[in-house]
Chain A
Amino acid sequence: MRAPTFFTLAALLDGPLHGYGIIKRAEQLSEGAVHMTAGTLYGALDRLSREGLVIEQGQEIVAGRARRYYRLTDEGHTALEVEAERMSKAAAVVQKPEGVAASTARRRPVKAHPRPA
């Protein structure tokens, strides 16, 4: 899952949001690392809707324009949790180098090579 997709889903954790709300929330959650354009956002929303991870929930008219709200589905919650878990495990590997060394050592037993006298 790419960062914009992940943060789009994460932005909807606290409840339904409209397009601009999602962009701002994603930027806030990623501490400014992810700043989506509208094109990126709606591409992601279309894809997530097709996959059943996000669903439209009502709309309102603001200044003569439609403003749709989106929310996470149960599948969306699950996908986000799975991705977060995966990222967490991946991060743990890097953050605990001794863990990597230990697991590598377990897989590759060191053979003793006696030096010739």
Chain B
Amino acid sequence: MSGAERSYRIALRAFPKQYREERGEEVIATILEGGDGWRPRLREFFGLFWAGVAQRSLMAGGPRTAGSVRAGVRLGAYALFWLAANDATATLVHFHNHYHGHALDVGAAVTGFLILLTLSRGWWAAPIMLVLVWELASRTYLVSSTHLSSGSGSVVHLTLWLPALFCLLARPRKHEPRDLRSPFWAVAAPALGALMGWQWSALYTNPWVGLAYAALLVGWLVLGWRDLRLSIAIATFVMYWGLRNALILTAPHRGLQVGRFAVVELVFLLIAVVPIAIGLVGRRVRA
């Protein structure tokens, strides 16, 4: 085997195994037919690698939806629900650890989980009803409470309303697959949220936080290649913390502690966003 062929076979690893078994030899033969067989061409190498990543992304997403706009809206719904679910779980953990939270946070967390669970069953209209109930209950609580300002609940209200509306927009048509039905969502969202809550209490001083990031990376490598949703989840997770860190970074006495985590988050963001972008391009091409 020549050096060129060895290089191309490395790039070929970017393709899914099934594809490699079916077409790998043919692809290699086509490339070698056009070169001198000894020196790998960078253009071919990266072209092959990129095509492999795109192919993985296409095969991971399952059946495609009809239009890129709907796919984009659905991605938005995914991202916002992850944000809401993670935020809600973090609130619960933080509340449990420090008992500084209040009933409103817990209510938001419970509503967030109920929304996630109904979505995991494929009930797309349920979120808006749950948010309505939550809104009525929380407003009643705020009116009867003497020590809470109405502004304290506005953020969690927005966090729940926005994804619920997105959810209605992204509701699949009759013959379209319901991607959110996977139980993966119901398990992974609280897990990530708990991680966030734990990290929040650790305040970047716990060395296990680094291992948690490593675990996410391994999860992405194992599942993310085949499951676009994990990439989306990680992107959301990273964006959430990235934003929070960016705010903390502006404070001079905290900047150095947080800065190195911002770099790690940037790496995570890149590896998570690339498959999403490829997935969207794939959707647009196929639409």
Q: Which residues of A contact B25 (CB under 8 A)?
A: 65-66
Q: Is A23 an interface residue (CB 8 A)?
A: yes
Do the beta carbons of B27 and A42 come within 8 Å of each other? yes
| B146 adjacent to chain A (CB < 8 Å) | no
Task: For the complex, count residues of A whose C-beta is within 8 A of B.
Answer: 21
Query: Chain A, 55-93, contact with B by CB distance < 8 Å: what is the 0/1 string?
Result: 000000011011110000000000000000000000000
| Stretch from B30-38, B192-200, B210-218 contacting the other chain | B30-38
Residues of B within 8 A of A41 (CB): 30
Contact B286 A39 (CB under 8 A): no
Contact A42 B29 (CB under 8 A): no
Instruction: Verify B286–A47 contact, CB threshold 8 A.
Output: yes
Complex Cα–Cα for A63 and B1 (A): 13
Other-chain contact of B47, A38, A46, A47, A67 (Cβ < 8 Å) = A38
Q: What 0/1 pattern do residues 20 to 44 of A give for CB contact below 8 A with B?
A: 1001100000000000011111110
When A37-B48, A39-B51, A65-B25 are in contact, do A18 and B286 touch as well, CB less than 8 Å?
no
Q: Which residues from A are CB-within-8-Å of B51?
A: 37-40, 42-43
Asked if B43 CB lies within 8 Å of chain A CBs, one says yes
- Are A38 and B286 in contact, CB atoms less than 8 angstroms apart? no
Interface contacts (Cβ under 8 Å), in number, total 61
Q: Is B47 within 8 A of A40, CB to CB?
A: yes
- Given A43-B51, A43-B55, A47-B285: A37 in contact with B43 (beta carbons within 8 A): yes
CA distance A42 to B31 in the complex (A): 11
Residues of B within 8 A of A18 (CB): 30
Q: Is the CB of B55 within 8 A of A38?
A: no
CB distance from A9 to the nearest CB of B (A): 15
Question: When chains A and B are docked, how far (Å) is the Cα of A41 from the Cα of B34?
Answer: 13
Cβ-defined contact, A20 with B52, below 8 A: no
Q: In the complex, what distance in Å separates the CA atom of A24 from the CA atom of B30?
A: 11
What's the Cα separation between A50 and B282 when bound, in Å? 13
Q: Which of A23, A39, A43, A67 contacts B29 (CB 8 A)?
A: A67
Which of chain B's residues have a CB closer than 8 A to the CB of A68?
Answer: 26
B170 located at the interface, meaning its Cβ lies under 8 Å from any Cβ of chain A in the complex: no
Q: Kindly state the separation between the CA atoms of A42 and B30 in the bound complex, as whole angstroms.
A: 10
Contact A23 B27 (CB under 8 A): no
Give, as a whole number of angstroms, the nearest-CB distance from B11 to chain A. Answer: 8
Pick the contact of A65 from B28, B44, B48, B52 — CB < 8 Å? Answer: B28
* Cα of A90 to Cα of B244 in the assembled complex, Å: 51
A19 touches B47 (CB 8 A): no
Q: Does B93 contact A (CB under 8 A)?
A: no
Q: Considering the chains assembled together, what is the distance between the CA atoms of A37 and B43 in angstroms? A: 7
Residue of B nearest to A42 (CB): B27
Give Cα A74–Cα B33 distance, bound, in whole angstroms: 29
Kindly state whether residue B70 has any CB partner on chain A within 8 Å: no
Which of A20, A43, A47, A63 is the one whose CB lies under 8 Å from B30? A20
- The answer to the question of B23 belonging to the interface, with a C-beta cut-off of 8 Å to chain A, is yes
Q: Is the CB of A20 within 8 A of B33?
A: yes
B-chain residues with CB within 8 Å of residue A24 when the two chains form the complex:
34
* Cβ of B261 under 8 Å from chain A: no
Expressed in whole angstroms, the minimum distance between the Cβ of A59 and any Cβ of chain B is 8
Q: Is B186 an interface residue (CB 8 A)?
A: no
Contact assessment for A66 and B30 in the assembled complex, using a CB-CB cutoff below 8 Å:
no
Question: Does chain A have a CB within 8 A of B54?
Answer: yes
* Smallest beta-carbon distance B287→chain A, Å: 12
Task: Enumerate 28 A-B pairs (CB-CB under 8 Å) in ascending A order.
Answer: A19-B26, A19-B29, A19-B33, A23-B34, A24-B34, A37-B44, A37-B47, A37-B48, A38-B27, A38-B31, A38-B34, A38-B48, A39-B27, A39-B47, A39-B49, A39-B51, A39-B52, A40-B51, A42-B27, A42-B30, A43-B55, A46-B55, A62-B29, A63-B29, A65-B28, A65-B29, A66-B26, A67-B29
